[in-house]
Chain A
Amino acid sequence: MQNSGDRTRVIRALALGDSLTIQRAKHFMTRQTSGVANAGPNRRTDGDLLGTNSEIGRKLKQYYDELVSDEVPDRFAQLLSQLEEVEPAQQKD
């Protein structure tokens, strides 16, 4: 892959911690959260096997919801910001 060098640099930059990027990422995250509400559409259940009447189905959702609500470390937003800087959305010039 042609961009593997860039990626390595990004990841290294992340490991070193670039405070400006972190700041920007945090700012972005703050703006993001307002839009999250419309991000999760299909809240469907499976009537046959894992519906709300099923203990397994309930536990499964409880298990997963707990994982989903886990706070996301900043490093992911930082990573995306770095990727954006290095490869601005693969735009043709």
Chain B
Amino acid sequence: MAANPGFKGDLLAAIPGLRAFAMSLSQNADRADDLVQETLVKAWDKQASFQPGTNLKAWLFTILRNEFYSQMRKRGREVQDSDGIMTGRLAVHPAQPGRLDLEDFRKALEQLPEDQREAIILIGASGFSYEEAADICGCAVGTIKSRVSRARNRLQEILDISGEADYGPDSIAAQVMGSNG
């Protein structure tokens, strides 16, 4: 059944989204493109197992995500699990108060644990539903929801746009202690 002439075209069309997701995960252009390349090769190999009419984008994102975590493990890099871990790092202080610069945002995003970052990207940017994101990440819908929520809170905290207080450099300690779980 496999000789599907549209498959290659569908893969090509998916590449920009895959690269964006890979960049969001790895925060590194070279690694991102390696991930995309490996994803395309794997997808090609496994194309017989893809059911036409189902969500190709979600299928590809799943492959890419698995590849990302498997590479991290091979590197001996511990996969961050944000549950119960306090990620106290430097707050980003926007150069222009009140105006959130895209570069500041990128830095803040980089500080998120992987599981939170991928959740907020899948839901808030890649256009997946909570159900699809849960499938991609192999977890429960509620887990995705809670990760998105924590990611958003964390970003607001780092970027100081909650409108609560004027954090200065001295507030690092306060950030480390954490105001919410």
Contacts and interface: CB of A to CB of B under 8 A. Distances in A.
Interface of A: 1, 3, 7, 10-11, 28-29, 32, 35-36, 39-40, 42-44, 46, 49-50, 54-57, 59-70, 72-73, 75-77, 79-80, 83-84, 87-92
Interface string B125-159: 11111000000000000000000110010011001
Contacts of B17: 40, 68
B12 to A, nearest CB: 5
Interface stretch (B61-69, B116-124, B166-174): B116-124
A91 B125 contact: no
B23 interface: yes
B37 A67 contact: no
B102 to A, nearest CB: 6
A15 B91 CA distance: 41
Contacts of B2: 89-92
Secondary structure dominating the interface of B: helix
B15 A39 contact: no
Contacts of A79: 37, 40-41
Q: How large is the interface on B (under 10, 10 to 19, 20 to 34, 35 or more residues)?
A: 35 or more
B43 to A, nearest CB: 9
Nearest to B106: A63
A77 to B, nearest CB: 6
Secondary structure dominating the interface of A: helix
A16 to B, nearest CB: 15
Interface of B: 2-5, 7-9, 11-17, 19-20, 23-24, 33, 36-37, 40-41, 44-45, 47-48, 100, 102, 105-106, 109, 120-121, 123-129, 148-149, 152, 155-156, 159, 161
Contacts of B11: 80
Given A28-B12, A68-B20, A84-B8, A89 B100 contact: no
Contacts of B8: 28, 80, 84
Contacts of B4: 89
Contact of B120 (A44, A60, A66, A87): A60
Contacts of A84: 8
Contact of B20 (A3, A42, A67): A67
B148 A67 contact: no
B13 A64 contact: no
B22 to A, nearest CB: 9
A63 B13 CA distance: 20
